[in-house]
Amino acid sequence: MSQLKYWDGTQWAVAVVGAQGITGAQGAQGLTGLQGVQGSFIVGASLPSPAYVGEVWVNTNDGRTYVYDGAEWFEAYGNYQGLQGPSGVQGPIGTSIAASYDTDQGVISGQVFS
């Protein structure tokens, strides 16, 4: 077990630790913060120009969201993905082939079905 020690001027002495005190009263509520600047949210295929600090851009080429920090655009979070779209229509039935191999004759024969 570790002990709390203090220097008494000549040697290290073990401090006596008392019981924990009672919890103090809750402090007053802090002041309301300043109003932030109005941002913008841009959706498009090309980088917004000019760019402003805090501006948000959704790149329609890659579906990712970027934020401008005054020096560069950085990705705000992972891939932005929308909801899955509906399933496509079923394609046409393909061609089937039934084949057999005659080991005695070394001949492959078959039939094509559409």
Task: Evaluate whether residue 33 is within a structural domain.
Answer: no
Task: Evaluate whether residue 52 is within a structural domain.
Answer: yes
Q: Are 4 and 13 in contact (CB under 8 A)?
A: no
Which of the 8 DSSP states describes residue 41?
E
Task: Evaluate whether residue 15 is within a structural domain.
Answer: no
Task: Evaluate whether residue 61 is within a structural domain.
Answer: yes
Q: CATH number of the domain at 57, please.
A: 2.10.10
The whole domain housing 51 covers 38-81
Q: To which residue do tokens 């191999």 refer?
A: 101
Task: Evaluate whether residue 77 is within a structural domain.
Answer: yes
Total domains present in the chain: 1
Q: In angstroms, rounded to a whole number, what is the distance separating the alpha carbons of residues 103 and 58?
A: 64
Q: Please state the pTM of the whole predicted model.
A: 0.38
Task: Evaluate whether residue 19 is within a structural domain.
Answer: no
Q: In angstroms, rounded to a whole number, what is the distance separating the alpha carbons of residues 109 and 90?
A: 31
Task: Evaluate whether residue 28 is within a structural domain.
Answer: no
Task: Evaluate whether residue 107 is within a structural domain.
Answer: no
Per-residue burial over 3-37, b = 16 or more CB atoms within 10 Å of its CB, e = otherwise: eeeeeeeeeeeeeeeeeeeeeeeeeeeeeeeeeee
The whole-number pLDDT of residue 44 equals: 93
Q: To which residue do tokens 């492959």 refer?
A: 108
Q: What is the pLDDT along the chain (114 residues), one digit of tens a residue?
A: 578 888 889 998 888 878 889 999 999 999 999 887 677 789 999 999 899 888 999 999 988 889 888 988 988 875 556 667 889 999 888 877 777 777 777 667 666 666
